[in-house]
Amino acid sequence: MSLLRSDLAIIKEWITPGSRVLDLGCGNGELLRVLRDERQVEGYGLEINTKNIVSCLQSGINVIQLDLDKGLDDFDDQAFDYVIMTQTLQAVHFPDHLLQEVLRVGKEGIVTFPNFAYWKNRMQIGLQGKMPVSRTLPAQWYESNNIHLCTIKDFQQLCKLRNIKIQKKVVLDHAHRASGPITFLPNLLGQIAIYRCQRSGD
């Protein structure tokens, strides 16, 4: 059994064996590879980085080179059981549109992102007057791929506005660990959020 970091292991447990999965910004295909081997999924990845695409192909992962800002128009409604988007939402130009596309193409969506409201981020902005740099946001603002950073409250508000039902939520620290304090004050103490969603009424 392959070892996955904790956030990806949580996602793996949410995936029904034998399902169809689309992974947006799939990186080197690590998650899809484990889902294929341990959950017998039919998985496809979308990725823009050529090096990552080569790595996926070498692992036998079905991957398509695609800029997510161009949307998912090539995919039919409800074509997949799950559409996964890990650490990608904040790096696209139109996260609201892409989230809705995720839930058009997939019966369920699984989304992860760094929580910008984490207390140390607030301290860096409040005391130093600078954009935060942390283990979950390691790049300087001028080097970062992040375009639309958000907080846990921001994401939940967007889901409410767009009639998106949140089925599950897990909030972790930088080491992908859960704890009682984080569960009690997720927007203040959490660093990484994982959401499982679907359109209301589905």
Return the structure tokens found at 36: 């294929």
For residue 202, is it within any domain? Answer: no
Return the structure tokens found at 41: 């999924």
* Sequence letter at residue 123: M
Using CA atoms, how far residue 142 sits from 59, 67, 120, 193, in Å, is 33, 21, 20, 24
Kindly report the pTM of this predicted structure.
Answer: 0.93
Q: How confident is the model at residue 135 (pLDDT cuts 50, 70, 90)?
A: confident
Q: What are phi and psi of 44, to 5 degrees?
A: -135, 145
For residue 61, is it within any domain? Answer: yes
Which CATH number belongs to the domain containing residue 180 in this structure?
A: 3.40.50.150
What would the mean pLDDT of 19-48 be, rounded to a whole number? 95
For residue 142, is it within any domain? Answer: yes
Return the structure tokens found at 195: 């959401």
Q: Which residues pair with 16 in a beta bridge?
A: none
Q: How confident is the model at residue 4 (pLDDT cuts 50, 70, 90)?
A: confident
Q: How confident is the model at residue 202 (pLDDT cuts 50, 70, 90)?
A: low
What would the mean pLDDT of 109-129 be, rounded to a whole number? 95
For residue 161, is it within any domain? Answer: yes
For residue 52, is it within any domain? Answer: yes
For residue 141, is it within any domain? Answer: yes
For residue 1, pLDDT beyond 60: no
pLDDT given for residue 200 in this prediction = 83
For residue 30, is it within any domain? Answer: yes
Residue 47, domain extent: 6-197
For residue 73, is it within any domain? Answer: yes
Question: Number of structural domains, the chain?
Answer: 1
Q: Characterize 188-198 residue by residue with b for buried, 16 or more Cβ atoms within 10 angstroms of its Cβ, and e for exposed.
A: ebbbbbbbbbb
